[in-house]
Amino acid sequence: MSAGDPSASRRARAQASAENTALGDVRVVCLSSLGPVPFAVMLLGDLGAEITRVDRPGRAGSLTGLPLEDDPRTRGHRGIGIDLRRPDGRAVLLRLIAQADVFLEGMRPGAAEKLGIGPDDLLDVNPRLVYGRATGWGQNGPRAAQAGHDINYAGLAGGVFPLGSPDAPPLPPLNLLADFGGGGAYLALGVLAALHQRQVTGRGQVVDAAMVDGVASLTTMLHGMLAAGLWTDRRGENLLDGAAHFYRTYATADGGFMAVGAIEPQFYRELLDALGLDPAEWPQHDRSRWPEQSHRLAAVFASRTRAEWEQVFDGRDACVTPVLSLAEAATSTELRERGTFVDWDGVPQPAPAPRLSASAVVERPRSRWCGHTDQILAELGYPADEIAGLRAREAVA
């Protein structure tokens, strides 16, 4: 092939990426969507996978109201605009799939099949494909076709009820539990497992990531504690839900907060020592005294500012730390030194996690909606006149 062959250039980039990153030889195609899929794709991309995102022509690129270009979850994506309702558009996707390792979609059950891009359709084109699909309720079951959001999936799975004060309704867990924890992270885990098994079988498979299943999985330890009698099904009466005076947050004099997590006895002793409290008067596991002890500790922490308490506990193994806002975390000197937060392409954002000792972390530029259509089509072997024809027929954008 000539030096100007776009497919040869792409293979060279892929080889270089495979040598430096964990998933550099993995090609992921995903459909633009909300919720768990962008997060799963971000995790795979952060580990080096090449991401091609299929955008819907004529529809502004946005994820949950955030312009696509400003969303760190799309870092490093290449976007191609394809109208999957048109036969020519579907043909472009099938050509992409023939060269892909992973395909991810987050549509309602049956929607992909109606477009002719369901698992049977794509695995027929590429039997080695790992087809990942994320939904709220799963591909089957009584609620499979019902709409919902993070709070619904997490609520039904038991992940919302334990959160918050016992004298108020449960608190929404942002959209961290279902969208990202039980959805996107589990989808990425399933994809990695399927890729690993493909090395043995030579064949792909379908990953069915239901957010309700993932949230239920995240509560596994609590179910074990419940069965052992170490947890009550009443909010605000347990070790980890704010009832214990040594595992909760406290307000400070300046309106800040400190997080106290002194569960183990050695950490609890250090907590009491730092506060100048007599251990004989502060038994740790007498639950009848937890409300009173929490009230007294609240008064203690309210007597100083957050910065003053940070100085008190600096260097102590008392498991007491400041509670930072999102903006404070992003600008924290400590977290910046660790590399937990970075500035990529002008956007402050969390760095890829976890870290691998022999795999590089590659800075990923922000993505653009439908920003690489011609480049990707050329790599797929479409000549310029065919690309122009696809655009004229509005199959691509």
11-66 pLDDT tens trace: 555 555 567 899 999 999 999 988 899 999 999 999 999 999 999 987 665 556 67
pLDDT, the chain, mean: 93
Specify whether the CB–CB gap between 245 and 320 falls below 8 A: no
Task: Name the pairing type of β-strands 347-350 and 341-344.
Answer: antiparallel
Distances (CA, A) of 7 to 90, 100, 123: 21, 14, 23
The two tokens of residue 189 are 């885990």
What are the tens digits of pLDDT across the range 66-124? 777 778 999 999 999 999 999 999 999 999 999 999 999 999 999 999 999 999 999 99
The arrangement of secondary structure in 247-323, i.e. its CATH architecture, is: 2-Layer Sandwich (3.30)
pLDDT tens-digit profile of 169-205? 999 999 999 999 999 999 999 999 999 999 999 999 9
State pLDDT tens for residues 150-164.
Answer: 999 999 999 999 999
Could you report the per-residue pLDDT of 304-351, keeping only the tens digit for each? 999 999 999 999 999 999 999 999 999 999 999 999 999 988 888 999
Domain with CATH 3.40.50.10540 in the chain: 25-218+367-393
Predicted confidence band of residue 364 (pLDDT cuts 50, 70, 90): confident
Please give the structure tokens belonging to residue 285.
Answer: 């596991």
State the span(s) of the chain assigned CATH 3.30.1540.10.
247-323
Residue 225 CA to residue 232 CA, distance in Å, equals 9
Give the H/E segment covering residue 43.
helix 36-46
Residue 358 identity (one-letter amino acid): A
**Distance (Å, rounded) from C-alpha 142 to C-alpha 279?**
54
Among 248, 232, 242, CA closest to 165: 242
Residues 164, 170 contacting (CB under 8 angstroms): yes
- pLDDT band for position 3 (cuts 50, 70, 90): very low
The gap from C-alpha 377 to its chain's centroid, in whole angstroms, comes to 30
Structural fold of domain 25-218+367-393: Rossmann fold (3.40.50)
Q: In the structure, what pLDDT confidence band is assigned to residue 362 with cuts at 50, 70 and 90?
A: confident
CB 80 within 8 A of CB 373: yes
**What's the pLDDT score for residue 5?**
63
pTM listed for this prediction: 0.93
Which residues have a catalytic role annotated?
Answer: 149, 179
Other Cβ atoms within 10 Å of 211 Cβ, number: 34
* C-beta separation of 196 from 189 below 8 A: no
Q: What angle do CA 106, 111, 114 make, to 5 degrees?
A: 145
Q: How far apart are CA 302 and CA 250, in angstroms?
A: 8
User: Distance of alpha carbon 82 from its chain centroid, rounded?
Assistant: 26
Average of per-residue pLDDT across 256-266:
98
